[in-house]
């Protein structure tokens, strides 16, 4: 059962190769985690996942996708995150956090909360409603046809330094919260991805133009984060391996980037794709696995595959064939928070030790139903 085998990154050994990918919940007020986040994330530790990565957590207030995003821009936000980390550790799971800046895709509405729910000051205060102008590499809307996206301010040198400083400070807070790993979010059309992609970056200074220049900010953030993140703890980066759009970022670009990230102390690359209005890709089971394979082989670095990977046989084959080192689930984990323990049983394990002690009577349930000997 390759899928259920342990894997070590630096001093962190994960109990298996299953990962909960970051999933925005848009349920915070002023960036603070609450009981929803505790319940949502804790169940994945109970369900046997090896690593649970918390949702995109903004390093500065203006870096939130919505006013409902998690944040780690002030010390007071540490304690409620640490409570969740401690519980995941008690269940044998490792805890990671995705540090993020939404760039020009910031200050957008919470999808399920219509204007009619934010008409009074009391309603807005209860929801934590805020609105602000986003920032980006260039003063261009993510999608001019969509009124939810504003024209951002182009970052100047001081603004770029604020971004770097924000990642550093959030990293230090993540260490205080007890996280085992952090993931720098450089995918899905958010700020660091915007700097990488020629679809969004039209700067003429040292942060724009050539691929080397467009990679500069992510590499500077990575160096600054690695410098303050404990040497024994692994560092991950999520990238969009391809923009899936003409004239955009390519797989070949990502291989070059992954080599540079590895040279700066990154231990694994989380391989997703797309994120810009111009990009399109057909969804299908395991549709992004070729991206993880290309980066793993081209840069000789561990990779994480993500995207409709809920089929256990396929997940086992992906790991066994060396296409990726980790299988990350998002919607699949929402659908079945116990996916790892179910996968382990499906793959023939007689051992129920991955189940919490409070739930191991499931073994008797399975015996009666003929699911085990």
Q: Under a CB-based contact definition with an 8 Å cutoff, are residues 318 and 286 in contact?
A: yes
Q: Which residues pair with 136 in a beta bridge?
A: 154
b/e per residue 142-171 (b: at least 16 CB within 10 A): beeeeeebbebeebeeeebebbbebbbbbb
Length of the chain: 373
Going 16 to 20 to 21 to 22, the CA torsion angle's sign is negative
Cβ of 254: how many Cβ atoms within 10 Å? 24
CATH superfamily for 2-368 is Aldolase class I (3.20.20.70)
pLDDT tens-digit series, residues 200-230: 999 999 999 999 999 999 999 999 999 999 9
β-sheet bridge partners, residue 71:
58
Rg (CA), the chain: 20
Going from N- to C-terminal start, the domains of the chain cover 2-368
The answer to whether the beta carbons of residues 135 and 104 sit under 8 Å apart is yes
| CA dist., res. 168 & res. 191, Å (int) | 16
In eight-state DSSP terms, residue 155 is P
Structure confidence at residue 263 (pLDDT): 98
List the helix and strand counts (H, then E) for the chain.
Answer: 12, 13
Does the predicted model carry a pTM greater than 0.95? yes
Q: How many CA atoms lie within 13 Å of 337's alpha carbon, on the beta-carbon side?
A: 11
- Give the model's pLDDT for residue 371: 75
Q: Which residues of the chain have pLDDT under 70?
A: 1, 373
For residues 231 and 61, what is the distance between their CA atoms, to the nearest angstrom?
A: 28
Contact 274, 244 (CB under 8 A): yes
Q: What φ, ψ does residue 44 adopt, rounded to 5°?
A: -75, -30
DSSP bridge partners of 58? 71, 100
Catalogue the active-site residues: 190
Q: What is the pLDDT of residue 318?
A: 98
Q: Is 207 helix (H, G, I), strand (E, B) or coil?
A: coil
Q: Which helix (H) or strand (E) holds 18?
A: strand 18-20
pLDDT value of position 373? 59
**Cα maximum dimension of the chain:** 69
Residue 130 confidence (pLDDT) = 95
77-to-60, 70, 165, 173 alpha-carbon distances in Å: 12, 9, 17, 9
Residue spans of alpha helices (H) in 8-105: 35-46, 78-90
Instruction: Pull the structure tokens for residue 73.
Output: 């821009």
User: What's the pLDDT at 41?
Assistant: 98
């Amino acid at each position: 059962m390759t899928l259920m085998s342990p894997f070590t990154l630096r001093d962190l050994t994960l109990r298996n190769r299953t990962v909960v990918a970051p999933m925005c919940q848009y349920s915070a007020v002023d960036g603070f985690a609450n009981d929803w986040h505790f319940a949502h994330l804790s169940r994945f530790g109970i369900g046997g996942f090896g690593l649970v990565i918390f949702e995109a957590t903004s390093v500065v207030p203006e870096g939130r996708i919505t006013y409902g995003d998690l944040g780690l821009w002030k010390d007071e936000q540490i304690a409620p995150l640490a409570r969740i980390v401690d519980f995941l550790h008690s269940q044998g799971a490792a805890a990671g956090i995705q540090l993020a800046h939404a760039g020009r895709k910031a200050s957008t509405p919470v999808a399920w909360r219509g204007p009619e729910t934010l008409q009074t000051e009391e309603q807005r205060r209860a929801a934590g409603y805020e609105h602000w102008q986003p920032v980006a590499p260039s003063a261009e809307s993510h999608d001019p046809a969509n009124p939810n996206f504003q024209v951002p301010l182009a970052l100047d040198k001081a603004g770029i330094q604020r971004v770097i400083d924000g990642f550093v400070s959030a990293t230090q807070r993540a260490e205080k919260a007890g996280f085992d790993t952090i993931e720098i979010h450089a995918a899905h059309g958010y700020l660091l991805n915007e700097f990488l992609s020629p679809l969004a970056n039209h700067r003429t200074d040292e942060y724009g133009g050539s691929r080397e220049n467009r990679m500069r900010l992510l590499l500077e953030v990575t160096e600054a984060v690695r410098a303050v993140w404990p040497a024994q703890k692994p560092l991950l980066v999520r990238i969009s391996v391809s923009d899936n759009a003409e004239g955009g970022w390519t797989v070949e670009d990502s291989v070059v980037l992954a080599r540079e990230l590895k040279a700066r102390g990154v231990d694994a690359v989380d391989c997703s794709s797309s994120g810009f209005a111009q990009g399109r890709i057909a969804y299908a089971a395991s549709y992004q696995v070729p991206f993880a394979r290309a980066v793993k082989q081209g840069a000789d670095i561990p990779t994480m595959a993500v995207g409709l990977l809920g089929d256990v046989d396929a997940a086992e084959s992906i790991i066994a064939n060396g296409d990726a080192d980790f299988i990350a689930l998002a919607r699949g984990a929402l659908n079945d928070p116990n996916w790892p323990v179910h996968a382990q049983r499906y793959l023939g394990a007689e051992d129920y030790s991955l189940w919490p002690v409070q739930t191991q009577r499931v073994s008797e349930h399975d015996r009666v139903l003929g699911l085990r000997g």
